[in-house]
Amino acid sequence: MRAGSTGARTKGGALPQAAKIPTMEAPSNHPNHRRMTLLLLEALGAGLIFVGIIWWTMFSGRKGGELPPEEDKDEKGH
């Protein structure tokens, strides 16, 4: 061994490696995951309500979907 080196060397000259690196276990019920899911569901609900209001405003109350042309109004006496 050279001066200043640490650890035992193997036959090929490399240092031995650990079989497993110690790691922390991930929590199963992380509170931020639930908060993000709730936030996404609320955003989806708000988007659906918004689209519903736009749909209702555009297409409700008119038979056929569009107003009659101006010529038909004059002939009927409006």
Distances (CA, A) of 42 to 29, 34, 50, 52: 20, 12, 12, 15
pLDDT score at 18:
72
pTM: 0.42
Cβ pair 9, 1 in contact under 8 A? yes
Nearest 5°: phi and psi at 14?
-90, 155
Count other Cβ atoms within 10 Å, centred on residue 42: 10
pLDDT score at 44:
98
Q: For the chain, which residues score pLDDT lower than 70?
A: 1-11, 27-31, 62-67, 72-78
